[in-house]
Structure 1
Amino acid sequence: MRIVIAEDNTLLREGMILLLTTNGHEVVASCAAGPEVLPALRQHRPDVAVLDVRLPPTFRDEGLRAAVAARVEFPELPILVLSQYVEQAYASELLAGGAHGIGYLLKDRVGRVEQFLEALERITAGGTALDPEVVTEILSRKAAARPLQGLTPREQEVLAMMAQGLANGAIAERLVVTERAVSKHIRGVFDKLGLPPESSSVHRRVLAVLAYLDAGTAPQTQHPQKT
């Protein structure tokens, strides 16, 4: 795949370029500052962009703001955002535009080569790759504001794993339950969130994840249901 990278740390940037090219990918451009990102994307039209959150000139959230702007200009462009910390406000804005083709990983995942490459391939294929810590942070910061009522603890657990980009089989493996049980929980989530029927223009799984991240809290139940 053809990739644009934005990372101001020279050592990390060159390391990612070496890692990606060694694994058969082509880095068509590398940026060291926020203002360079959109021009590089316009010029090269890559298959995916890998953007650091904090870039010059202010080292605040230039990379994440560039990601949000890129998704407006190039709605189908897969973007993998890397960060030392979770920038909750812009992370929510980035996901609000649609979770397909979006990844948000903390930087220590880059050192885990297989996970990094798998996340990159997943979002390029239109999937989602959210770091578990990113999901937890977004949920915890919004928990006091707008609680999501009605989901059982197990449904919340399943939905959190969906937000990380896990398929039903992987969720079943982690929870040590059957895929049929996972499917049942997911159907319950869809029903309780009042999502429209699946169609060519409606992806219920993505809508469920967005609704969950937007509401952001643990369900208020007194008696957890067993699988």
Structure 2
Amino acid sequence: MRVVIAEDNVLLSSGLELLLNSRGFEVVTIAVDAAGFLTAVKTHRPDVTIVDVRLPPTFRDEGVRAAVQARRDHPGLPVLVLSQYVEHEYAGRLLADARGGIGYLLKDRVSRVAEFTDALRRVADGGTAMDPEVIAQLLTHGDPVDTLTPREREVLALMAEGHSNATIAQRLLITDNAVHKHIGNVFLKLGLSAGDSGHRRVRAVLAYLRSRGGTALPQ
């Protein structure tokens, strides 16, 4: 699996490269700024990308802007964003794209190697990988989705973390059938019919998270 990294911190980018190359990934290049990242994506057409939220020259939101632009230029490009802190606005910008293949993790998750590489693979496969702390922050902003029950929101939050139905059932101490029913209700309430294009599970998660933190980028 070919990876492009956008990270200006040499220690972190080198560490990521060593870690990923030892785990079956191939880091094809490392960009140190947004422009370099966009060029690298166009040149190498990676299977998945890792982008720091803050990149030179201002170290504000160049990374997330580049990630959004890359997905516009290359629809469906899998992007895993790394951030030092929980920044719900930046997460919301990324989530404004209703397609899957999106992840947002805090940088300290990288030290949990198995968890991090699993999240990266999930994003590469078109799923989502949201840091629990990011989800918690998103849930505190904006109005709740009135049509969803508290239990349905709990199920969706765990779906956003990438958990399977079986794991969700274990976490919430309910049956697999109950999880299936809750997810079915969510699909119904969010208007996601079986005929919808894309994965309903991913679309439901993104719609839910966008309702809490989604902020469109300026055109």
The two structures have a TM-score, normalised by structure 2, of 0.91
Q: Which runs of 5+ in 2 are unaligned?
A: 214-219
Q: Which runs of structure 1 show a deviation greater than 6 angstroms over 4 or more consecutive aligned residues?
A: none
Aligned to 1:197: 193
Contact (CA 8 Å) 1:99, 1:128: kept in 2 or not? Answer: no
Tell whether the 8 Å contact from 1:5 to 1:27 is kept in structure 2 after alignment. Answer: yes
| Cα offset, 1:110, TM superposition | 0.4
Task: State the alpha-carbon separation in 1 of the partners of residues 136 and 153 from structure 2.
Answer: 12
Deviation per CA, 1:30-76: give whole Å up to 9, x if none: 01122211011111111111111111111111111110001100112
In structure 2, the partner of 1:212 is 208
Q: Is the 8 A contact 1:92 1:214 kept in 2?
A: yes
Query: How big is the shift at 1:90?
Result: 3.2
Separation in structure 1 between the aligned mates of residue 137 and residue 72 of structure 2, nearest angstrom: 25
SS in 2 for 1:148: coil
Q: Give the 3-state SS of the residue equivalent to 2:145 in structure 1.
A: coil
2:175 maps to 1:174: no
The residue matched to 2:90 in structure 1 has which SS? helix
> Could you tell me which amino acid in structure 2 is paired with residue 7 of structure 1?
E
Read off the aligned partner of 1:170 and give its amino acid letter.
Answer: T
Specify the code of the residue in structure 1 equivalent to 2:195. S
Residue aligning to 2:95: 95
| SS in structure 2 of the partner of residue 110 of structure 1 | helix
Equivalent in the alignment of 1:81:
81
Shift of 1:175: 1.2
Residues of 1 paired with 2:129 and 2:181: CA distance?
A: 23
Structural mapping, 1:128-167, within 5 Å: 128-142=128-142, 146-167=143-164
- What's the C-alpha RMSD, in Å, of the aligned pairs? 1.7
Q: How do 1:57-68 and structure 2 match up within 5 A?
A: 57-68=57-68
Give deviations 1:75-123, integer Å, cap 9, x for gaps: 1211110001233233222212124111110001001000110001111
- Equivalent residue of 2:141, what SS? helix
TM-score by length of 1: 0.88
Give the counterpart letter for 2:200 in structure 1. Answer: R
Who wins on radius of gyration, i.e. which is larger?
Answer: 1
Which one-letter code corresponds to 1:60 in the other structure?
R
Match of 1:186 in 2: 183
* Displacement of 1:209: 1.7
Contact 1:169 / 1:179 at 8 angstroms: preserved in 2? yes
User: How much identity, in percent, do the aligned residues show?
Assistant: 58
> Aligned residue for 1:120?
120
1:41 paired residue number: 41
2:216 maps to which residue?
Answer: none
In 2, distance between residues paired with 1:34 and 1:158? Answer: 35
Instruction: Give the partner amino acid of 1:26.
Output: E
Higher relative contact order (CA 8 A, sep 6+): 2
Structure 1: 5+ residue stretches without partners: 218-227
Structure 1 residue 200, shift from structure 2 partner: 5.9
* In structure 2, distance between residues paired with 1:188 and 1:200: 16
Aligned counterparts of 1:202 and 1:10: Cα–Cα separation in 2? 37
* Residue identity matched to 1:185: H
Assess if the C-alpha contact under 8 Å between 2:192 and 2:204 holds in 1.
no
